[in-house]
């Protein structure tokens, strides 16, 4: 009996061990399946993350108009001119204007540097010949106000350069310093008594300097001629090494008495006349070119709709009338009143140039001027 019991216990023990071994083996076989499942889950997670990242990149690459109700305006105009216009625009539209003020040349460089990520919406500065060589920086937009432009020569034929005002080049004279000297035009600037007392802006850096160079070439020699450049050389000698880097430096220098006479735009000088500064404007007797100034929409502007609203406002009758009556400027429209302070167009010796020639030769003419100016110092 004891022997049979012992055999039974031994057999039971062996069966239990066999069962345990079977479970352990099954567990060992199941483990790789779990590891494989985890690996598969990791790959799926990675794929999901890659799809998500791809979707985010695609979404961020899409061009979307900024949602804030603003318009960013780059301008070379004075704040005295801009502020009333901006205030009226904001009141009419509810759009907030952010102004960035600098010289035209500097602003064009800024827009060029921002082409991959435009920050500005509007360039309100310069003349056609200043901006046209870089017309690729601007969007095509023709305002409904084009039908009211004063003449065909000032129409937006480029599609991307809207004219905003008429801007003649003039001389600005300090009446406290002029004494008995006669200054009626360019020829008078060669007077030895004015050596070192002439404020002129660098045509390579400013729109006013460039336009005066063009005006001088056509008034004193009919354009790109030896006669014209000979006069430019004599003029540069009388500058006596003084060439300014901004248009505002010309206005201020003459008004403050640092210079007797300056070569500038009409509007900047007129502001000082109205403010009571001891200055007067002289329209060169040899001839004055009237240029259209620009308002352009930056290509891919972040606030495109508001930019178009701003162009339409600036060229509209209300803003244009304000420019003429209150802001010492000449509008571009054919339905405006006369200016209370600016010399009537009919009383100025108006001359014309071929603006396309000036545009095509801008780089060459600026280089020629720079060489002359450098050589006479």
Task: Tell me the two tokens of residue 45.
Answer: 């997670």
Task: Tell me the two tokens of residue 199.
Answer: 């404020």
The reported pLDDT for the residue numbered 346 is 87
Rounded to two decimals, the pTM is: 0.73
3 domain residue, yes or no:
no
The reported pLDDT for the residue numbered 105 is 87
49 domain residue, yes or no:
no
Does one domain contain both 83 and 193? Answer: no
Rounded to an integer, the average pLDDT of 47-71 is 51
pLDDT score of 62 more than 60:
no
36 domain residue, yes or no:
no
Does one domain contain both 180 and 217? Answer: yes
Rounded to an integer, the average pLDDT of 94-107 is 94
Does one domain contain both 155 and 204? Answer: no
**185 versus 22: which is more confidently predicted?**
185
Q: CA 249 → CA 101, 137, 208, 246, distances in Å?
A: 14, 27, 11, 5
The reported pLDDT for the residue numbered 241 is 95
Assign residue 126 the CATH number of its domain.
Answer: 3.40.190.10
pLDDT score of 2 more than 90:
no
Max mean pLDDT among 101-105, 129-133, 169-173 falls in: 169-173
What ranges in the chain are assigned the alpha helix state H? 2-61, 79-93, 104-113, 128-131, 207-221, 226-239, 247-255, 266-274, 304-314, 317-326, 355-360, 362-376
Query: pLDDT for 184-234, tens place per residue?
Result: 999 999 999 999 999 999 999 998 999 999 999 999 999 999 999 999 999
Query: pLDDT for 264-285, tens place per residue?
Result: 999 889 989 999 999 999 999 9
For Cα atoms 128, 289, 307, give the angle at the middle one, nearest 5 degrees. Answer: 30
The reported pLDDT for the residue numbered 80 is 87
Does one domain contain both 101 and 239? Answer: no
Does one domain contain both 222 and 86? Answer: no
Does one domain contain both 206 and 224? Answer: yes
Rounded to an integer, the average pLDDT of 312-323 is 98
The reported pLDDT for the residue numbered 365 is 97
The reported pLDDT for the residue numbered 140 is 98
- Out of 17-26, 89-98, 218-227, 250-259, pick the least confident: 17-26
Average pLDDT along the chain: 86
Does one domain contain both 87 and 201? Answer: no
The reported pLDDT for the residue numbered 66 is 57
Domain count, the chain: 2
Structural domain including 269 reads: 168-289+362-376
Q: In this structure, are residues 221 and 228 in contact, taking their beta carbons and an 8 Å threshold? A: yes
Does one domain contain both 369 and 254? Answer: yes
- Short-list 312, 356, 313, CA closest to 133: 356
pLDDT score of 48 more than 50:
no
Query: pLDDT for 114-167, tens place per residue?
Result: 999 999 999 999 888 889 999 999 999 999 999 999 989 899 999 999 999 999
Distance between CA atoms of 164 and 208, rounded to whole angstroms?
A: 16
Does one domain contain both 370 and 264? Answer: yes
Does one domain contain both 130 and 212? Answer: no
What backbone phi and psi angles, to 5 degrees, belong to 339?
-70, 140
Does one domain contain both 146 and 228? Answer: no
Q: In this structure, are residues 167 and 267 in contact, taking their beta carbons and an 8 Å threshold? A: yes
């Amino acid at each position: 009996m004891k022997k049979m019991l012992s055999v039974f216990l031994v057999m039971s023990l062996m069966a239990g061990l066999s069962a345990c071994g079977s479970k352990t083996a099954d567990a060992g076989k199941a483990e790789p399946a779990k590891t494989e499942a985890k690996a598969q889950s990791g790959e799926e997670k990675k794929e999901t993350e890659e799809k998500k990242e791809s979707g985010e990149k695609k979404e961020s690459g899409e061009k979307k108009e900024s949602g804030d109700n603003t318009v960013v305006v780059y301008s070379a105009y004075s704040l005295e001119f801009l502020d009333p216009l901006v205030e009226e625009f904001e009141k009419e539209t509810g759009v907030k204007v952010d102004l960035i003020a600098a010289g035209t040349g500097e602003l064009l460089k800024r827009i060029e540097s921002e082409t991959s990520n435009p920050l500005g919406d509007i360039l309100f500065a310069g003349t056609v010949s200043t901006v046209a060589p870089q017309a690729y920086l601007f969007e095509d937009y023709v305002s409904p106000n084009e039908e009211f432009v004063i003449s065909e020569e000032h129409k937006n034929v480029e599609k991307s350069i809207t004219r905003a005002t008429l801007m003649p080049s003039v001389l600005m004279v300090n009446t406290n310093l002029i004494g008995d000297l006669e200054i009626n035009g360019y020829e008078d600037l060669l007077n030895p008594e004015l050596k070192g007392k002439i404020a002129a802006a660098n045509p390579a850096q400013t729109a006013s300097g460039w336009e005066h160079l063009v005006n001088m070439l056509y008034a004193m020699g009919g354009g790109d001629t030896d006669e014209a450049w000979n006069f430019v050389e004599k003029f540069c000698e009388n500058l006596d090494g003084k060439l300014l880097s901004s248009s505002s430096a010309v206005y201020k220098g003459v008004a403050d008495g640092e210079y007797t006479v300056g070569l500038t735009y009409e509007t900047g000088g007129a502001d000082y006349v109205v403010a009571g500064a001891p200055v007067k404007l002289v329209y060169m007797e040899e001839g004055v070119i009237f240029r259209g100034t620009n308002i352009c929409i930056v290509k891919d502007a972040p606030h495109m709709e508001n930019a178009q609203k701003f162009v339409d406002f600036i060229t509209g009758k209300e803003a244009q009338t304000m420019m003429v009556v209150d802001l010492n400027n000449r509008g571009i429209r054919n339905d405006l009143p006369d200016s209370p302070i600016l010399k009537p167009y009919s009383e100025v010796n108006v001359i014309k140039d071929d603006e396309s020639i000036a545009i095509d030769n801008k780089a060459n003419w600026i280089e020629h001027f720079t060489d002359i100016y450098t050589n006479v110092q």
